[in-house]
Amino acid sequence: LTALLNRDAFLESLTEAVRAARLGAAPFAVHYIDIDNFKPINDRFGHAVGAQVLVMVADRMRQTANDGEVLARLGGDEFAVLHYRVGNEQSARSLADRLLAALVPPMEVEGHRLTVGASIGIALYPDAGDYADLLMRHADSAMYVAKVQGAASVQLYARGAPVLRSSASPSG
Which residues are tagged catalytic? 77
How many other CB atoms are found less than 10 A from the CB of residue 16?
A: 14
Q: For residue 161, give the 3-state DSSP assignment.
A: coil
Between strands 117-124 and 153-156, the pairing is parallel
* CA–CA dist 41, 159 (Å, integer): 35
How far does the chain reach from its first CA to its final CA, in angstroms? Answer: 29
* CA–CA dist 111, 101 (Å, integer): 23
